[in-house]
Structure 1
């Protein structure tokens, strides 16, 4: 009896060693998320919502490791890490950082693209950006699993400006995608590409006079300290894709892949609703605290007219003219 029991135990142990995938499948999977911001920022909250939904839909343990406050660099680095399948598995990234892999990617977040929040929501809900997301996933190996954003971008400056003439020559920081420099030049400003984390010091040292951002960024980065005049140009509504490494995704169990895709869509909607609703509240709170002053901009229609031919030419140049036409034809 003892010999048979011993042989049976050896056989069982041998079977386990021969099928190590069974043991590994039972171990919790770890996913790394990165954010430039702290726990309170809407991007981080959107990512935490994503993690909660992944756990809910997968129904099994998943470990989430958080790298906040730019501890792993900036969004550009996060996207590179996700593309390489290392260090960062998911994060919210500006489309401007995807231009190496898709010329059309930055266009989905271009200035002067959306008429208002209702128009913006219809574009995102209608899956009109799918050609871009498919290209990014194919070439960069990064999946765009949801769309957050929703902040209306204005110009924060160390001097006020109420019209086109007063904006002329303004040295303003813009994102690296060419469409930002071209449209701001068409308005008469002097755009400069500077790293996001260098904007505060650049204004403080008079390298530039202004930047442009949504309320959450102005608050988080304390840009109001160096640019207390918020010029209400309302020139863009942000689109911030929630990205997930396609290499990581391919290694996950099928059920978890499905949970990630489903949770990504819902986290994007969560982020959009949160940021778009909180945007005006943040500006009002900063104004009431005496930290910034809202400056009414009186020539928004003229500003849009000045950039229209630039937008049309650029869309054609990067083969995004069909997307641009479809977005313009959509009624809000």
Structure 2
């Protein structure tokens, strides 16, 4: 790691410690948690709720300070900081892990889940536990999965009603080879880009649009510059709450159990907030005049994904996981 990198991490660590100190929290151990989303977003509020559970269950010994709105950096940077132990907890999308942890590729596949309920059944069961466990080899402890909604395409140019309408268009995607290939399989051009740069990139014509769920399309303000939203629902990718293994290893086994359970118990709360936020965001976006294409034949989109599956599901391990997910009722 470069001297500049070390210095940057040290500065962030100091800033986080100072922020915790001035927050007035009385907890003996204040865990620093990062989220790219704004204050009030369901994932942010879910981690705050986890913090309340921790304070109650440890009688104030352990708490959580949530740094929302990418205060500690965009997801790719905060993942590295969490691995180094500068950040204790991190709520991140699974996309950036696709090139690092192969198990995350399966649940990031386009149309792997038939519905949100199907996703919940898979992630709440043995397959979800298997994926969480895979993070430890990468200096992270997988604690729980949160909802990321159904991701669909939006753009500034035209309503998209078929695969042909996507041809030649430029879309931002998360920094994942799979998502680049997904957009390419639809005949469009993928541009990996940090989330915080998307608004200006659409506004200036660097890209035509992006893809995301209702709450993110709303909270990011992207609907202001990309008013055409097509509900193709190509991805239903869960998000993950991870903890730095360095921070985890400093806890006693008893406190580790409390942290893990508090994370699990924050999931139902997050899902309630998510469902409410999806409804609220949809109403706001429609009222703002965005053109929503809801009646769309997904079959051509699904068929176009065959090369993506062939490229990314290569090992017997991943093929077995795909089969188990598809067999989950």
Say whether the 8 Å CA contact 2:99–2:177 is kept in structure 1.
Answer: no
Instruction: Specify the alignment match of 2:294 in structure 1.
Output: 296
- Judge which range, 88-97 or 107-116, deviates more: 107-116
Structure 2 unmatched runs, 5+: 1-25
1:42, distance to aligned residue in structure 2 (A): 1.1
Task: Give the one of 140, 144, 147 matched to 2:145.
Answer: 147
Partner of 2:322: 324
| In 1: Cα distance, 2:202 partner to 2:64 partner | 37
Per-residue CA deviations over 1:136-179 (Å, capped at 9, x if unaligned) read: 112x1111101002411111111211112212222111112111
Go from structure 1 to structure 2 and tell me whether the alpha carbon gap of 1:179 and 1:326 turns closer, same or farther (over 3 Å shift).
Answer: same
* Runs of 4+ with >4 A deviation: none
Query: Residue by residue, what CA displacement relative to the aligned partner does 1:11-69 show, whole Å, maximum 9, x if unpaired?
Result: xxxxxxxxxxxxxxx98112111122222111111111111111222234324333222
Q: Given the two structures, how large is their TM-score scaled by the length of structure 2?
A: 0.86
How many residue pairs get aligned? The number is 303
SS of the equivalent of 1:206 reads coil
| Alpha-carbon contact 1:35-1:69 (below 8 Å) kept | yes
CA deviation after TM superposition for structure 1 residue 210, in Å: 1.0
TM-score normalized by structure 1? Answer: 0.85
RMSD: 2.1
User: What SS is found at the alignment partner of 2:38?
Assistant: coil
CA contact (8 A) 1:161 1:231 kept: yes
Partner of 1:114: 113
Q: Which residue of structure 2 aligns with residue 20 of structure 1?
A: none
| Inter-CA distance 168–155: structure 2 relative to 1 (3 Å threshold) | same
CA separation of 1:150/1:269 partners in 2, compared to 1, >3 Å: closer, same or farther?
Answer: farther
**Alignment correspondent of 2:174:** 175
Q: Which moved more, 1:113-122 or 1:55-64?
A: 55-64
Tell me the residue number matched to 1:41: 41
Aligned residue number for residue 7 of structure 1: none
- Report the Cα offset of residue 329 of structure 1: 1.4
Greater CA radius of gyration, 1 or 2?
1
Q: Which runs of 5+ in 1 are unaligned?
A: 1-25
**Cα distance in 2, alignment partners of residues 261 and 161 from structure 1:** 42
Residues of 1 paired with 2:263 and 2:108: CA distance? 19
- State the shift of 1:309 in Å: 4.3
Q: Deviations over 1:251-310 (max 9, x none)?
A: 1133221110001112233223432453243112221233x2212352211111121342
Per-residue CA deviations over 1:176-226 (Å, capped at 9, x if unaligned) read 211112122222222221221111111111111010011111111100111
Give the 5 Å matches for 1:155-174: 155-158=153-156, 159-174=158-173
Alignment partner of 1:238: what SS? coil
Secondary structure (helix, strand or coil) at the match of 1:173 reads strand
